[in-house]
Structure 1
Amino acid sequence: MSIKVLVVDDSSFFRRRVSEIVSKDPDLEVIGTAVNGAEAVKMAAELKPNVITMDIEMPVMDGISAVREIMANTPVPILMFSSLTHDGAKATLDALEAGALDFLPKRFEDIATNKDEAIRLLQQRIKTIGRRRVYKPITPSVTKSAPTPVSRPVTTPVSPRAVSGSVVSPKPSIINRASGKKYRILLIGTSTGGPVALQKILTKFPQNYPHPILLIQHMPAAFTPAFASRLNALCQIEVKEAVSGDQLKAGHAYLAPGGMQMMLERAGTHGRLKIVAGSEDMNYKPSVDITFASVSKVLGKDTLAVILTGMGADGREGSRMLKSSGATIWAQDEASCIVYGMPQAVTAAGLSSQSIGLEQMADAILRESSNG
């Protein structure tokens, strides 16, 4: 059975272009097009597509408002098209928070080196998110406040539905007691579905979280400053986009800048960050593998590393190096992932000691970190 797609954009040229690309794949079928968000809301209810591709800036009703309405009434996987600008980044993050599953740059030349590669990528993204069941998003309301003891993490009941874009986990992961191991750093690597997953986890961390945190999210360079700023406003810990020379501090999270590679060097208690352009042949900038590998050489066994939702296998080889140095590796479980690619790669390789649902991940990390 083909995946039915609704294409939404106020530009007739872009609607036609996307529709042509979608229709070239025998597993995909365009069942309608809409010229604004209001039409999209109406057609989503009438046509019941498996996936919607959505522009952000449109007349009558913009894409973000349309996402909110669709996810509130007839939830469906939504892929946003965004401009690679600061305003585009903020709008895209708003759309993801409203319930959209993924995004791509609107200029296809920004996502691939040639036309055929761009076509394959768009088709793959649509097919990947089209296989997911989605539910109404849960909007967090967290602001910076007085610190709470890290040794007493709040236990949150498992919700019957996961965060936006995630599926219901029929059997929530069982979290073992803390191992008693002491750590000096927390690493989190992720891709598709990561912005919402990171927000859900990090907003539960207290201001006095005892370790520095390195975040590696596959994201364009124009997006990471806005994402770091958003996380910092929502979280009690401090979050910033990493720069070369940053000395790691407990209770601070450092987001790898888009288009660059983030590495850890020996310096002080926890180390110092080095941001480099990296090799042109690298598939991911930033790469989870590169950051994880550098940490394995500096802090090794004193590391807790977590792989969250994402396509591909980035993080597997870096996790292998960390594991060989005595580090602890965890992966998000399949049921709560938007895309069970990166966590599956780590789990299938025998590198992860636990598969944990997104709803339980923050409490599990806090419990494990309480001995550090």
Structure 2
Amino acid sequence: MVFKVLIVDDSAFYRRRVREILSEDRELEIVGEARNGQEALDMLIKCAPDVVTMDVEMPVMDGISAVKAIMTRRPVPILMFSSLTHQGAQATLDALEAGALDFLPKRFEDIAQDRRQVSGILRTKVRLLARRKGSLSRTIPSRSNRAPDMPANAPRHSFFRSSTMLSGRQDSVTLPTVSSVTRSGKKYACLAIGASTGGPVALHKVLARLPATFPTPIILVQHMPGTFTNAFAQRLDSQCNIRVKEAADGDELKPGWAYLAPGGKQMVVEHRGPQPVLRIIDDADNPATYRPSVDVTFTSLANIFGGQVLGVILTGMGADGREGCRLLSQGGASIWAQDQISSVVYGMPQAIAKEGLAQKSIGIENMADCIITEMAV
């Protein structure tokens, strides 16, 4: 199957660069180029793309406005290109809030140092998002009191072990999806959630439903650059009844608080005296792992809390979280996975489902209610 791509950027040089990379993939066909959001809108019907790559900052109509218009008129998966700055983080989160599914740093050297790896990541993301076209619906982003839904996340080179992890192939899944659960009666000390591609929308949908009286700390690991995690945590905090913060070294874990792992670093839980605290580790010299890594954080939780953890793996590429979930499961922890149909990319949830580690497969719309029921909120 060949997927049609529309490239939108005001820079002719950047359009040419993206075209060259994507054209190397026989599954991708460049059907058009636009210099701004308005041109992109004009070309939608003519080109009928399966996926759009979109710059944030453009004349005439910027990327955020274009995403809103596209998702209202003719929904199509959109991959944003963004600068890794605080301003870029805010703009990208706005674009994701408007309906874009994912984003990548505009400077390709921020994705990976190896050009072949950069090209592989970009092509794979475009293919994966193109496959989601049929699941999109025509909607106007909501502006409720608490918040609109927010899709997508942001990887850079530290998130990927190799391009072979990004095949995007989806095997059949035997674990049936459930919409509700019966409380098991287990005692929990922590809720832990890992996510990658598509994670911000999934995290928002879960966290926005949790009450301020949530009985345990919540540990969040979302693959995202360091310049984005603080802005993302602040945005979630403004939209949720629980409190959300970017984790800092030495944070004591409190009930009703969610701690988001800082991008580009590792987050572990350890004992310093009687109270579990967070430790933030800068392991920039270790290129072999995701930063932050679900496996690293979940392994520390297994060591500290044993079976008193509800671990949840949401949408994302690759298999980060599989080994951490294995250790948690061996200690008696409960492990849940987001189901295939509601995942933007079914890589991470599939990895634990195929290993028999996931006890339940749950659609994202029902995940929060199931968590509330299980943890007796």
By the TM > 0.5 criterion, same fold?
A: yes
What is aligned with 2:146? Answer: 143
What is aligned with 2:262? Answer: 257
**Aligned-pair distance for 1:136?**
3.5
Q: 1:354 aligns with which of 352, 356, 360?
A: 360
Give deviations 1:245-281, integer Å, cap 9, x for gaps: 0000000000000000000002466610000012513
Q: Tell whether the 8 Å contact from 1:140 to 1:200 is kept in structure 2 after alignment.
A: no
What is aligned with 1:69? Answer: 69
The question of 1:189 aligning with 2:191 is answered: no
Q: 2:308 aligns with which of 302, 305, 308?
A: 302
* Structure 2: tracts of 5 or more residues without a match: 153-175
For 2:242 and 2:16, the matched residues in 1 are separated by: 45
Give deviations 1:207-241, integer Å, cap 9, x for gaps: 11111000000000110010000000101111000
Q: 2:212 aligns with which of 203, 207, 211?
A: 207
Change (3 A) 1:338 1:140: farther
Q: 2:278 aligns with which of 255, 273, 280?
A: 273
- What amino acid maps onto 1:143 in structure 2? R
For 1:217 and 1:163, the matched residues in 2 are separated by: 14
- What amino acid maps onto 2:304 in structure 1? V
For 2:374 and 2:75, the matched residues in 1 are separated by: 35
For 2:177 and 2:351, the matched residues in 1 are separated by: 21
What is aligned with 1:159? Answer: none
What is aligned with 2:60? Answer: 60
What is aligned with 2:84? Answer: 84
* Structure 1: tracts of 5 or more residues without a match: 145-161, 166-170
- What amino acid maps onto 1:117 in structure 2? Q
What is aligned with 1:126? Answer: 126
For 2:274 and 2:78, the matched residues in 1 are separated by: 44
- What amino acid maps onto 2:332 in structure 1? G
For 2:309 and 2:145, the matched residues in 1 are separated by: 27
The question of 1:338 aligning with 2:344 is answered: yes
- What amino acid maps onto 2:15 in structure 1? R
Instruction: Output the aligned Cα RMSD.
Output: 1.7
- If the length of structure 2 is used for normalisation, what is the TM-score? 0.89
Give deviations 1:19-73, integer Å, cap 9, x for gaps: 1111111111100000000111121232110010000000111001100110111
Change (3 A) 1:270 1:198: farther
Give deviations 1:100-150, integer Å, cap 9, x for gaps: 111000000000121111111100110111111322355362439xxxxxx
Q: Tell whether the 8 Å contact from 1:205 to 1:362 is kept in structure 2 after alignment.
A: yes
For 1:369 and 1:267, the matched residues in 2 are separated by: 26
Change (3 A) 1:195 1:164: closer
SS in 2 for 1:10: coil
Percent identity over paired residues: 55
For 2:231 and 2:84, the matched residues in 1 are separated by: 12
SS in 2 for 1:223: helix
- What amino acid maps onto 2:248 in structure 1? V
- What amino acid maps onto 1:281 in structure 2? P
- What amino acid maps onto 2:26 in structure 1? P
For 1:126 and 1:277, the matched residues in 2 are separated by: 30
Q: How many residues align?
A: 349
- What amino acid maps onto 2:352 in structure 1? V
For 1:98 and 1:269, the matched residues in 2 are separated by: 44
For 2:207 and 2:45, the matched residues in 1 are separated by: 34
